[in-house]
Structure 1
């Protein structure tokens, strides 16, 4: 079980309780507003906005909510000013964490992230202390039932993808930041539905975890961070050994 694999997370999210839907909508709304603010409100000319709209629709977000969030970004409706912040830290066992935050109050966010880390065995680190263990990449997760591997490879590599991983029930397509829009457009043009399409931090250095209690503490901390309203995503570089969480 590795920290950069998103498939299990996606599957859990699809069966999550309605109580978490508000958090999902909040994260997507902020992304819509930021995408529209930075690239305009027309998805035809704004690949990032187009991708977030697709994500919103996949989560069954009401069209009115989508429109309002976009208009807040373009200034057609009043709205708060959001900032994107990245925090670095450590979970138990020396596991590295990258915490992406979208907030209208960075002091509140910093306090909440620091407090959550401290309560659950982690700690914040200085800028650059953890980031070198990760690379910023574009990542697309695609259900293997939607396309065969050869067709996906031909399509994605031609569009600029660096790697296509076959994980049996899904494919993971990785690309450089500069090629993200082109790969996203190529997949959309072929009407290939993506379970996930986003910019992520992928670990280039992993931290093995072979102790059950440490593994549980790492996952618990990540879960608690992910529950914070301002947290958009938590990336980690743990590599939990097979069977560790099944041990009695």
Structure 2
């Protein structure tokens, strides 16, 4: 998983900006809505909904907002009908990009996503053009500064909990699971006293595309523009950038 920590840094940076923009709750509500619509409104029997609710609560989303999103999806409240789509393409320098959206107007959202790619030296492609480069996996990050476990101990506990793999950086343990095992692994490690700075089922790239500073700057502008769109839920990519460059640009 070489390079993934750099990708994580970008996600963490963008996550903080999402909170400042005040758009995070709306995006989380849409994720809850879709999960409940597809699998029912009971988190105990709908793993995707349980993950969406956990993600919302970890970001301090009020319970009323969570309940309202579920009720809209199950028909207990009237609301807008959202659909989920994925767009694929290439950013500057050939960086692979996947964009998931929840929208009530597909034509508007498709035009906005295409405009973002075109404006930032990228191009929107056909479905399947980059998705084969990514794997859907559970991803848990433990901050080493708040957990006393050493690398060997942490690896053993992660594997015993059902994790598939673990990578270690100077600051974090990064734990990977099969999507179906994510909730169980997370719950087991929480019971063992661990807390997570990131916990989600996400798309992990198999390979990474390095860019120089100018290319990274263009790529970050594309990410910014996409994530500024209210309809965009997630932006996945395989950018590999030098950490010093990321710090300078952020």
Same fold (TM over 0.5): yes
Cα distance between partner residues in 2 of 1:77 and 1:52? 19
For these two proteins, the number of residue pairs brought into alignment is 244
Structure 1 residues 192 and 32: alpha-carbon distance in aligned structure 2, compared to 1, 3 A threshold: farther
Cα distance between partner residues in 2 of 1:97 and 1:132? 11
Contact persistence 1:51–1:184 (CA under 8 A): no
Cα distance between partner residues in 2 of 1:42 and 1:147? 36
Q: CA deviation at 1:188?
A: 4.2
Q: Which residue of 2 aligns with 1:223?
A: 224
Gaps in structure 2 of 5+ consecutive residues: none
Q: CA deviation at 1:82?
A: 2.1
Q: CA deviation at 1:87?
A: 0.9
Cα distance between partner residues in 1 of 2:105 and 2:236? 22
Q: Which residue of 2 aligns with 1:32?
A: 32
Structure 1 residues 226 and 94: alpha-carbon distance in aligned structure 2, compared to 1, 3 A threshold: same
Greater CA deviation, 71-80 or 27-36? 71-80
Q: Which residue of 1 aligns with 2:128?
A: 128
Q: Runs of 4 or more off by more than 6 Å in structure 1?
A: none
For residues 1-248 of structure 1, the aligned pairs below 5 Å read 2=3, 5-10=7-12, 13-14=15-16, 16=17, 19-21=20-22, 23-144=23-144, 145-146=146-147, 148=149, 149-190=151-192, 192-209=194-211, 211-241=212-242, 243-244=244-245
Cα distance between partner residues in 2 of 1:169 and 1:177? 24
Please report the RMSD computed on the Cα atoms of aligned residues, expressed in angstroms.
2.5
Cα distance between partner residues in 1 of 2:239 and 2:19? 29
Q: CA deviation at 1:200?
A: 1.6
Contact persistence 2:91–2:121 (CA under 8 A): yes
Cα distance between partner residues in 2 of 1:189 and 1:63? 23
Q: CA deviation at 1:241?
A: 3.6
Contact persistence 2:36–2:70 (CA under 8 A): yes
Gaps in structure 1 of 5+ consecutive residues: none
Structure 1 residues 68 and 169: alpha-carbon distance in aligned structure 2, compared to 1, 3 A threshold: same
